Amino acid sequence: MSKQIVLERQGEIAIIKVVRPEALNALSRSIVDDMDALVEQVGADRSVRVLLFYSEGSFAAGADIKAMSLCDEEGAKAFLFTPTYDKIQSLPIPTIAVIEGYAFGGGLELALRCDFRLAAKDAKLGLPELNLGIIPGAGGTVLLPRLIGEAKAKELIYLSKTVTGAEAERIGLVNLAVEPGELLPTALQWAERLRTRSSLSLAAAKASIENAIANPDFRSAGKTEGELWAGLFGHHDQKEGMAAFFEKRKPSFTGQ
């Protein structure tokens, strides 16, 4: 594993950080290969309850243009980050992209795969690939319209427009934009609130929402939701959540 990506732990919260400041944390193929291995590790570790992606100074200024510029069509297919990003999106735990500096191209596409995006008000976000004669290739054209609507997504992608964190909050691209100094503490507060929820309920809610987005038919999505809902009964966390309600206390969930 290169030293350009690290996994840090704060108790049950894991943080994946890219450390390539000389290139504004642009994502090389080898960084994404290492990210893939770290995501596998996090996915297999039941003690991790929340995963943050946070890189100091710049979230990621996109895929590595220098390496990409040498690719032919076959090389470009091999360069794609999609399998790793799919893995991130499939994690059953909540994920948060914590964005300062630049989240461009493949960097913003990584953030789009997370459950939440928190940004510094002065961060800059965009999918500028058309400036390079290509299009977003790791989920940007698929996920951005879902989040901010087709018209605004086309505006950002066709014109390579960038938005600040503050503007990104206004258009629904990020959940929250805060003063730069408050970003990481705010993200850790979100993570802490998520950490104490039932991991079973969180996983079921995430599975139902992802399924409903992928299969929007109301009846079939509703059927899946009902099955996930019923599946929680009989688990400790459901008994504990309801007992705590009657006993007028905070529930203590175990994920069992």
Q: By CB under 6 A, what part of segment 30-59 binds ligand CAA? A: none
Residue 246 neighbours by CB under 8 Å, 6+ apart: none
Using the rule CB under 6 A, give the single segment among 114-122, 136-144, 194-202, 211-219 that binds ligand CAA: 136-144
CB closer to ligand CAA out of 5 and 138? 138
Total residues interacting with ligand CAA, rule: CB under 6 A = 22
- State how far the Cα of 256 lies from the Cα of 246, in Å rounded to an integer: 20
Q: By CB under 6 A, what part of segment 94-123 binds ligand CAA? A: 102, 104-106, 109
Catalytically active residues are 109, 129
| Residue 61 near ligand CAA by CB under 6 A | yes
- When CB distances to ligand CAA are compared, the closest residue is 105
CA atoms within 13 A on the CB side of 184: 13
| Residue 169 near ligand CAA by CB under 6 A | no
Among 100, 115, 129, 167, binds ligand CAA (CB under 6 A): 129
| Residue 64 near ligand CAA by CB under 6 A | yes
Angle at 218 between CA 213 and CA 219, to 5 degrees: 130
Other CB atoms within 10 A of residue 79 CB = 19
- State how far the Cα of 199 lies from the Cα of 12, in Å rounded to an integer: 12
3-state secondary structure of 217: coil
Binding site for ligand CAA (CB under 6 A): 23-24, 26, 61-66, 81, 102, 104-106, 109, 128-129, 131-132, 136-138
